[in-house]
Amino acid sequence: MEVPIKARAVFVVHPTTIQEELYYFYHDPERIYQQMTADGSLTAELERIANNLQEYLRMDQTRVNGNLVDMIVEDAFLEFDQGEATKPVLNFSIESEPFRLRHGENEITLDAEEEDAPYYCEAEWWFPGTLLEIETAMEIKILKENAILLHANKGDPMGGFEVFKFWYDPTKSISYNLD
């Protein structure tokens, strides 16, 4: 199989769950994924990859206010970037087990194997309150008071122990878009 050329994740933290959309972008000059779509083998391949991803997620630890929260692969599918058969994108929908944020300061921690990025990786995070503190090996770009973009070029450090602290007030509405 081809190796991804880029990975992108979008995390949206809600008061009771974390939703993640994970995308792997490929350059597939041999059109392997298009062929798998045509010959009917794509479903089994997506299931295999989703199962591998689930095992990887089990090794990582996601905690919300100190409580371990499992992340679960809910769905996997394939699309083609700009409709081009040589640019497949694998997409995974992932959701956490339910939890409840508290009024005031909350903390999400991720503990994953530290590694050098095998390709360009970025993660966009949206929180239901104002960010207070961020600890990560990745480069950080503040998008707005409740949103950040983390990124690592190929060879840059990523993973390890990450901390996201934010203030949540259930009486206040906060936007999940860049407007």
pLDDT tens, 91-100? 999 999 999 9
User: Can you read off the two tokens belonging to residue 70?
Assistant: 């499992």
Domain count, the chain: 1
Mean pLDDT, range 38-43, rounded to an integer: 94
Predicted confidence (pLDDT) at residue 2 exceeds the cutoff of 80: no
Residue 115: per-residue pLDDT = 94
Mean pLDDT, range 132-149, rounded to an integer: 97
Residues 50/92, Cβ–Cβ less than 8 Å = yes
Residues 77/12, Cβ–Cβ less than 8 Å = no
Residue percentage of the chain with pLDDT more than 90: 91
Residue 176: inside a domain? no
Identify any residues that bridge with 96 across adjacent strands, giving them in sequence order: 71
pLDDT band at 174 (very low <50, low <70, confident <90, very high): confident
Residue 1: per-residue pLDDT = 59
Tell me which residue range forms the domain holding 40.
Answer: 4-168
Q: Please state, in angstroms and rounded to a whole number, the distance separating the CA atoms of residues 119 and 12.
A: 23
User: Can you read off the two tokens belonging to residue 126?
Assistant: 């949206």
Q: Which of 71-75, 77-81, 83-87 has the highest mean pLDDT?
A: 71-75
Predicted confidence (pLDDT) at residue 45 exceeds the cutoff of 70: yes
Residue 119: inside a domain? yes
Helix/strand/coil for 38: helix
Question: Hey, CA dihedral for 134, 131, 169, 13, is it positive or negative?
Answer: negative
Distances (CA, A) of 162 to 13, 95, 114: 15, 19, 10
Residue 131: inside a domain? yes
Cα 66 versus chain centre, distance: 20
pLDDT band at 83 (very low <50, low <70, confident <90, very high): confident
Residues 18/12, Cβ–Cβ less than 8 Å = yes
Residue 179: inside a domain? no
E strand or H helix that includes residue 9: strand 4-13
Residues 101/168, Cβ–Cβ less than 8 Å = yes
Report field, pTM of the whole predicted structure over 0.85: yes
